Structure 1
Amino acid sequence: MKTLNNHTILYDEDCPLCKAYTSTFINTKMLDKEGRKPYCEITEHEREFIDVPRAANEIALVDTEKNEVIYGIDSLLKVIGFSFPLVEKVGNIKLVKFFLKRLYSFISYNRKVIMPSEKKEENSLECSPSFNLKYRLFYIVFGLIITVVTLFHFSDLITILPKSSYYREILLALGMLLSQYIFVLKEDHQTRINYMGNVITVSLFGCIALGQLLILNSLIELSQFIIIFGFSGTVALMFFEHKRRIRLLQLPTYLSWTWIGYRLVIGMIILNV
């Protein structure tokens, strides 16, 4: 790998994805050993030429010799493109770059609902993206679609359940969001939407687990015991993940019980239809 010297990438140290790919840049020698730095450690001198709010939304790459900064997908293309020029060339094609910018923004603006973190009081700067309603709603819709499709296919594996339909799963998924939204009406608008994003992330984590069971069942036919045990275990893990996020968001703990309560009530209704 060719090393891009005299450049430092500013990353969110509380974001596992940010830590992973910036660490990869260092380990593969795309950047030198001083080539990454936590956002919260921006100095007063660096604030003179770094757009600090923008750097929280779009990862910043600082040219430490010229005191010049590029942001977002441009910074990633520059680092990767220094070792793989073709990647940078293709990435800068107008249509490709349009898609990459939207994908980057989709992930960046939602990273704190994908992987929330505890606020560190000792940090004067916190690398939290601005609230972007458009990308948050895109994320919620995306998560709903994945949830509906996964549950539709998984429901067919549980023989004691009535035959599923997309209509039923859409109503259940929307009902889950609406029921939880009602319990946070006293919170401000941004907190409510952020919470909905976290609820969707918990559902997506569940979809990953159920998806593995679906794949395994396509290879070897699983018994009803294993399927129901796997489903129950997934719901339990989702419940504890929901509780963890409620604590990080500093929201009422009863939200975890209303979240599981909805599922229990709906489960009883479906079984008795």
Structure 2
Amino acid sequence: MKTLKNQTLLYDEECPLCRVYTKGFITTGMLDENGKKPYCQLTEEEQNFIDVQRASNEIALVDNENKTVLYGIDSLLKVIGFSFPWMEKVGNWKPINFLLKKLYSFISYNRKVIMPSKKKTEIKLECVPDFNIKYRLIYIIFATIITIFTLYKCAQIITILPNASIYREVILAIGQIGFQLLFLTKTDKKTNLNYIGNLITISLLGAIILVPIILLSSIIELPHLFILTWFGLTVCIMIAEHYRRINILELPKYLTLTWVLYRIIALGIILNT
């Protein structure tokens, strides 16, 4: 593996994904031992030639000798392409590059609702991406669609429920957002969309946990008690995760109670239809 020397990636140390892939670059020898640095540790001298705002949205690769900077997908292609030139060539092909940049922006602008972190007032330079309504809405719609289809498949294997309906799952997903917003009416648009993003991420997490049991059910006949237990444990994990995120976002703790209340009401309606 060829090593790209005298280059440093500025990463968000609060982002688990950022920590993993920057460490991976160094472990595999693609970057030298000084190949990564937390964004919050930028010096005043470095801030003179680095676009600090852009670097919070797109990971920056700093050339320590020439004092030049690449951002986002271009920085990652530079690191990977030094060891695998063909990958950089493919990645820079206009159609592919366009898609990679859109995918990168989709993940980067939503990383704080995918994996939130508590705001640290003692740190002057936090690596927090700009609030982008377009990418937030795309994420909410994307995650909601995946959740809806997963829960639809799950409902098909829970025999105590009435016949599964994709329309029912759509109503439940949209209703969940509307119900919770009733208790956030005094907050601003950014807070609302940040909370909804986290709310949908929790639903997506639940859907991911349910995937193995859905796949198993398509292969073998599982005991109904086993399916219900798995589903119950999934709900417990989701409740705990909701409470954890509420604390990180510094939102009222009663939102977890209203979230649970909505699901109890929804289940009661489903069982009586």
TM-score range, shorter chain: over 0.9
Aligned to 1:92: 92
Q: 1 CA distance for matches of 2:215 and 2:37?
A: 40
Aligned to 1:79: 79
Aligned to 2:247: 247
> 1:179-210 CA deviation, whole Å, 9 max, x = no partner?
11111111111000100000000001001111
Aligned to 2:122: 122
Aligned to 1:139: 139
Q: 1 CA distance for matches of 2:81 and 2:185?
A: 47
Tell me which amino acid in the other structure corresponds to 2:152. Answer: F
Q: 1 CA distance for matches of 2:41 and 2:217?
A: 49
Return the offset for 1:213: 1.1
Tell me which amino acid in the other structure corresponds to 1:164. Answer: A
Return the offset for 1:124: 1.3
Aligned to 2:237: 237
Stretch moving more, 184-193 or 120-129: 120-129
> 1:157-196 CA deviation, whole Å, 9 max, x = no partner?
1101111111111011000011111111111110001000
Aligned to 1:203: 203
Return the offset for 1:218: 2.4
Q: 2 CA distance for matches of 1:13 and 1:219?
A: 42
Q: 2 CA distance for matches of 1:225 and 1:131?
A: 44
Aligned to 2:168: 168
> 1:29-58 CA deviation, whole Å, 9 max, x = no partner?
100000000000000000010000000000
Aligned identity (percent) is: 59
Q: 2 CA distance for matches of 1:261 and 1:211?
A: 25
Aligned to 1:268: 268
Q: 2 CA distance for matches of 1:220 and 1:74?
A: 46
Return the offset for 1:123: 1.5
SS at match of 1:204: helix
Tell me which amino acid in the other structure corresponds to 1:271. Answer: L
Return the offset for 1:12: 0.2
Q: Which runs of 5+ in 1 are unaligned?
A: none
* Alignment RMSD: 0.7
Q: Given the two structures, how large is their TM-score scaled by the length of structure 1? A: 0.99
1:179 aligns with 2:196: no
Return the offset for 1:121: 2.7
> How does 1:28-107 map onto structure 2 within 5 Å?
28-107=28-107
SS at match of 1:9: strand
Return the offset for 1:252: 0.3
Aligned to 2:215: 215
SS at match of 1:37: strand
Return the offset for 1:212: 1.4
SS at match of 1:62: strand
Q: Given the two structures, how large is their TM-score scaled by the length of structure 2? A: 0.99
> 1:64-88 CA deviation, whole Å, 9 max, x = no partner?
0000001000000000000000000
Return the offset for 1:220: 2.5
SS at match of 1:219: coil
Q: 2 CA distance for matches of 1:190 and 1:118?
A: 16
> 1:3-47 CA deviation, whole Å, 9 max, x = no partner?
000000000000000000000000001000000000000000000
Q: 2 CA distance for matches of 1:201 and 1:13?
A: 21
Q: 2 CA distance for matches of 1:217 and 1:167?
A: 22
> 1:139-159 CA deviation, whole Å, 9 max, x = no partner?
000011001100110001110
Q: 1 CA distance for matches of 2:21 and 2:137?
A: 26
Q: 2 CA distance for matches of 1:241 and 1:139?
A: 19
Aligned to 1:27: 27
